[in-house]
Structure 1
């Protein structure tokens, strides 16, 4: 036996480690638990502060927000460009429409001015023609009036005063007449009432031959009782009548349109 066998040991009994206890407990309980002890972590390798670990997400969020804003700005700019383009197009179309309307208005104004000038020219020509007829009438009226007396002269004077007025079917004056309306109005000046239409006037008074005419006689075209036109004989182989809508009231020689017959009511 060793001399030291009975000397108590100065070493403290070794306590089982936590892993040993866990192992034994696991075996006892019917399952085996293995605890692996990792390497010792240095003291200076402590967990970093939260602020440092969140820095990257914060930067990423800022970049995403900035990108979103940039996208919104780009969309707004694009929308503004599109809106401006539409406005410019609308303005352009409005300008074109205004130019077209203006051109059309100018065209219509020119046409109206041309029409007005043409109307004025025709009115001037008509006035000159009336003046010419008036001069001619003044020249020719003396012989016809000189050969007429009394009621015949008054009838002829009235008829001469109507020369140049319009022919209007059914009109009895004073601005226009048809053929029988003129004859009726002329004879009414001397107090003689005649029928209104040519047929009735062609049967009044006494029938006379065309070779025995006197100023104031009524000339008719057609047959007595069914005449279609009448006029007033003024002497010197002439008559005054409301011929038609083209000539109006005129003075003409007998051979211009030879009548069929004549009646004398004076």
Structure 2
């Protein structure tokens, strides 16, 4: 007996043939299964997930955002500016409309006041003339004979004042009568429209007499004469001498021709239509 026979052997025990064959068969079956699965190929394989690299979209994004913000701010600023301009224009238009209405109101009030003042002055003037004529025509007593003499004298004076014009006076009378029916226009000097002093000035210019242009100056351009001693060609005036507001030409027969107003134009009327304040004689 060996001296080591009693020591267990350190070597692995040999495997029996049946176990080895069994294990080989199992391993072969597994490998066959794997081979079959591999042969089945992609049809039975799980889908493979691919990672696709997307393009980077953040390139220049900050620049685009900044530009968009700037454009938006500019549009907002433009809208604010336009709103301010519209508001200013509306305010200006409103103020102009208000100022115009106020100016029109003041002009109308002034016009009415002037018309009222003129009417009042004319009424007072006519009343004073009526009173003066009443005083002059009132009987002062005396015998019927003296009254008859006075009546005869008055008739004689009237006849004298209505006598036919001659010479330069006739030319003046003929000129103004020829304009009867023409229009009245303030500042008019002919040939188809006149104001009162423009007509008188043009009539006397035909005989070489250059009268002032306005009524006030024409009322002192000659010798003052009585209304009871008028002659054709005398200048009649309404208002005071030197402050007259209207003039005309006495044409005889107790009538005058003058450019009265825009409603009547140039007319021939009796003295009673609008009794004058005084008269001057130039010729």
Please report the TM-score for the alignment, with normalisation by the length of structure 2: 0.43
Please report the TM-score for the alignment, with normalisation by the length of structure 1: 0.45
